[in-house]
Amino acid sequence: MTQPPFDTGAAPQQVPPRCYRHPDRETYIACQRCGRPICPDCMNEASVGYQCPECLREGQAHVRQARTAGGGLVPGRPGVVSTTLIGINVAAYLIMSVTGGLWLSPLYQWGVMLADGGVFQLPDGSLAALDGVADGAYWRMLTSAFLHASILHIGFNMYALYLFGPVLERYLGTARFLAAYLTSAVAASVFVYWLSGVHTPTLGASGAIFALFGMALVIMYKQGQDVRGLFALLAINVVITFLPGLDISWQGHLGGFVTGLVFGAAFAYAPRERRNLVQYAVFGAVWVGIVGATVARTLQLA
C-alpha cells in the first residue's frame, strides 16, 4: 500500500513565458494587441507598449499611405529616379564614346532612332546594314532617348533633368514620374517616325525633357505659380531648335512637349475622387495612340 506524497505546502514552480517566435528565449514582455510574449528581437515600439511583427504588419496594411498632389505615393527618396536616369544617360554616352562614337559605336548603331533601315556609309569608309523601326527595330524608339551626340548635347539635357526631374517626382510620385518620362520619350520618337526623314538618325533625351517642360508648365499654372520664367526658357529652346546648322530634331521636341501637356493636364486637373481612373485612362489613351501611329507609319513605309 502506497502512501500519498508528503505535502510541504509549497506552490508549484511556474515556467517563465517564452517568445512565441523564439521558444528558447524567456521574456516577460507581451504584444499590446494580441498578448503573445515577445523577445527584444520581435518587439516593435508602438504608441503604447510594443507589438509583435504580425500585429505590426496587420496594422500597417490598414494605414492609408500618404499621397502626393499628383496622386502618387510620397517618394521616400525624392529625386532618385532623376538621378538614376542621369546616371544611365552618362554611362551610355561614355560607352558610346569609347567604342567609336557616332556611327562607329555598336551602341549607336543598335540604339539610334532610325525610321527605315538600309546600308549606310560610316565615317571610316566602311558600310553598315542597319534595321530601322519599319523593319521591326521598335526598341530604337526608347533607346535613342538615352544616347547623345556630344558633351554639350548631354550636358544641356541632363542639367534640365536635374532641375525639373526631382520637382516633378515630388509632385507625381516615383511611379508616375518614371512612367510619364519613358512614355513621353517613346511618344517623341513617334513624331520623329512620322515627320523626319526616313534615313535620318535621331538621338537624345530632348523629347522627354520637353515633356517635363510641358508637365511643369501645366502644373505650375494650375497651382497659380508664375510661369513667365518657364515660358522664357521654352522660347529660348525654340529659337535654338531652329537655328541653322545645329541639326536639332524639332519633331522630337514637339512630340515630347505635346505629350507633356497632356500628362500635365491629367495630373493637375483630374478630380480627386476619380484621379486614378482619369490618369490611367490618359496613359492608356496615349499608348493606344503610340501603337496605332507606329503601326500606321510602319505599314506606310512597308
> Which tens digits make up the pLDDT trace of 210-249?
999 999 999 999 999 999 989 998 998 888 888 877 788 9
Please give the CATH superfamily to which domain 80-301 belongs: Rhomboid-like (1.20.1540.10)
Query: Taking a C-beta distance cutoff of 8 angstroms, is the pair 148, 201 a contact?
Result: no
Query: Taking a C-beta distance cutoff of 8 angstroms, is the pair 136, 185 a contact?
Result: no
Q: Tell me, what amino acid is at 62?
A: H
> Which tens digits make up the pLDDT trace of 111-148?
999 999 999 988 888 999 999 999 999 999 999 999 99
Residues of the chain with pLDDT under 70: 1-14, 60-65, 67-76
Cβ neighbour number for residue 81 with a 10 Å cutoff = 22
Q: Where are the alpha helices (DSSP H) in 173-274?
A: 174-195, 206-222, 228-241, 250-269
Residue 15, C-alpha cell as written in the block: 515556467
What does the buried/exposed string (b/e) look like for 251-277 if buried means 16 or more CB atoms within 10 Å of the residue's CB?
A: bbbbbbbbbbbbbbbbbbebeeeebee
Given 105, 189, 196, 206, the catalytic residue: 206
Report the largest interatomic distance among the alpha carbons of the chain, rounded to a whole angstrom: 119
- Residue 128's SS3 state is strand
Q: What letter would DSSP give residue 135?
A: G
Does residue 148 have an active-site annotation? no
Query: Taking a C-beta distance cutoff of 8 angstroms, is the pair 102, 151 a contact?
Result: no
Residue 113, C-alpha cell as written in the block: 532612332
Where in the chain are the domains? 80-301
Nearest CA-CA partner of 217 in 200, 229, 207: 229
Q: How far apart are the first and last CA of the chain?
A: 108
* 93 Ramachandran zone, left/alpha/beta (phi>0; psi -120 to 50): alpha
**R_g of the chain, CA atoms, integer Å:** 30
pLDDT of residue 10: 54
CA angle, 298 as apex, 297 and 302 as ends, to 5°? 120
pLDDT of residue 11: 55
Question: Judging by DSSP bridges, how do beta strands 50-51 and 44-45 pair with one another?
Answer: antiparallel
Alpha-carbon distances, residue 192 vs 9, 112, 120, 290 (angstroms): 95, 12, 19, 12
- Residue 269's SS3 state is helix
pLDDT of residue 242: 85
Given 144, 184, 189, 253, the catalytic residue: 253
pLDDT of residue 245: 72
